[in-house]
Amino acid sequence: MVDRNASNEIVDALDAVLNCPRDVIELAVMTVAAGGHLLLEDIPGVGKTTLARAMAKVMAGTVHRVQFTPDMLPSDLTGVSIYDRRSENFVFRPGPLFANIVIADEVNRANPKTQSAMLEAMAERQVSADGETHVLPDPFFVVATQNPIELEGTFPLPEAQLDRFMTCTSIGYPQEQAEVRTIAGTGQDDPLESLRQICSLDDMVRLRGQASQVHVSEDVARYIVAIVNATRVDGEIRFGASPRAALALAAMARAHALMRNRDFVIADDVRTLVVPVLAHRLVLVNAHGDGGDERRRDILDEVVNDIPVPRITERLHAMSASDGSTKLRTAETSDALT
């Protein structure tokens, strides 16, 4: 049976073999626990696909990797019905979306029509083909990678699809010493070969259920709504965060609290995740490539700094008394809010 430390065990295993920041790994694992999808946005060659492959290896279930290209058709993802001469009927052949973990590599190289084919799968966990609806496996998790939109041969992801990604982050260039170790180790065995499976499918479903049960007080809920509302009235933002974004922020805050061995959310959980959950969803009045991305992050930082942090009531602390760790958790909460 999976315990509260399962997510930390996954993070430790990935951190031991990957040359990417630990906070990126934590964000990826929390996104799985929150039941969302992850978008890794960065330049080529920094390890986006490697991180996706490593996550797939430590989690059980079927894994399909899709290399997106400009000539890909929607049916290449969802599947097609093929006529079976023996049965004299059309038989549906599932596409690569029918897997527990789908690695959508360079998703912004596909044309908009193919990109839109993923919307139903990501939002509803089902696909429609030839007039029939087919349910996708549970759990279903998409980890997509994309290159910056200004590079040749890429198509900007539509806002509707960006909103389906619960979180978005970038890995960035590795630290100098980490890059030296990578180059010196070239030619040796693949580091991912040492990874072992940590969670079964039932474990992942149970972990997702545990995260969904983490308590969000009314004060913290109001804090989340205040942050989201601030993006809707900002003069630099054409379209602010949607209600789906508010739910995603709450879900990720729950997963963050669970990873910190708490069964309630504090404001610090929310503050930590505002940028990776909300930044990619905002549409600026004037956005210009990377400058727009940076400005979105700056606006969110300003929003978080301007909104008062809610107080955590004694009743909330008492909810954790059953396991005897109330003092520890109260101390953690006090430190986070000072």
Tokens of 103: 């690695």
Tell me which residue range forms the domain holding 336: 213-338
Task: Compute the mean pLDDT over every residue in the chain, rounded to the nearest whole number.
Answer: 83
Domain count, the chain: 2
Segments in the chain below pLDDT 50 = 1-2, 313-318, 320-338
Residue 81 lies inside a defined structural domain of this protein: no
Q: List pLDDT tens digits, range 256-295.
A: 999 999 999 999 999 999 999 999 999 888 865 555 788 8
Q: Residues 322, 218: one domain?
A: yes
Looking at residue 188, what is its pLDDT? Answer: 62
Q: Residues 61, 138: one domain?
A: yes
Q: How many CB atoms lie within 10 A of CB 170?
A: 18
Question: At 90, which helix (H) or strand (E)?
Answer: strand 89-94
Residue 117 lies inside a defined structural domain of this protein: yes
The CATH number of residue 291's host domain is: 1.10.8.80
Residue 187 lies inside a defined structural domain of this protein: yes
Choose one of 211, 226, 249: the last residue of a domain.
211
Tokens of 193: 């070969």
Model pTM score: 0.85
Q: How far apart are CA 111 and CA 88, in angstroms?
A: 34
Q: How far apart are CA 171 and CA 42, in angstroms?
A: 7
Looking at residue 334, what is its pLDDT? Answer: 39
Choose one of 191, 211, 231: the last residue of a domain.
211
Q: Residues 305, 158: one domain?
A: no
Q: Residues 230, 206: one domain?
A: no
Q: Indicate left, alpha or beta for 234 from its phi (over 0: left) and psi (-120 to 50: alpha).
A: beta
Q: How far apart are CA 45 and CA 23, in angstroms?
A: 19
Contacts of 249 (CB under 8 A, 6+ apart): 224, 227, 228, 270, 273, 274, 277, 278
Residue 148 lies inside a defined structural domain of this protein: yes
Centroid of chain to Cα 121: 15
Q: How far apart are CA 54 and CA 282, in angstroms?
A: 30
Contacts of 110 (CB under 8 A, 6+ apart): 68, 69, 70, 72, 155
Looking at residue 294, what is its pLDDT? Answer: 85
Q: List pLDDT tens digits, range 208-260.
A: 999 999 999 999 999 999 999 999 999 889 999 999 999 999 999 999 999 99
The CATH number of residue 47's host domain is: 3.40.50.300
Q: Residues 194, 61: one domain?
A: yes
Q: How far apart are CA 74 and CA 141, in angstroms?
A: 19
99-138 in b/e burial notation, b at 16+ Cβ within 10 A? Answer: bbbbbbbbbbbbeeebbebbebbbeeeebebeeeebebbe
Q: Indicate left, alpha or beta for 78 from its phi (over 0: left) and psi (-120 to 50: alpha).
A: alpha
Q: Residues 8, 152: one domain?
A: yes
Under a CB-based contact definition with an 8 Å cutoff, are residues 304 and 274 in contact? yes
Residue 31 lies inside a defined structural domain of this protein: yes
Residue 79 lies inside a defined structural domain of this protein: no
Residue 334 lies inside a defined structural domain of this protein: yes
Looking at residue 153, what is its pLDDT? Answer: 67
Residue 296 lies inside a defined structural domain of this protein: yes
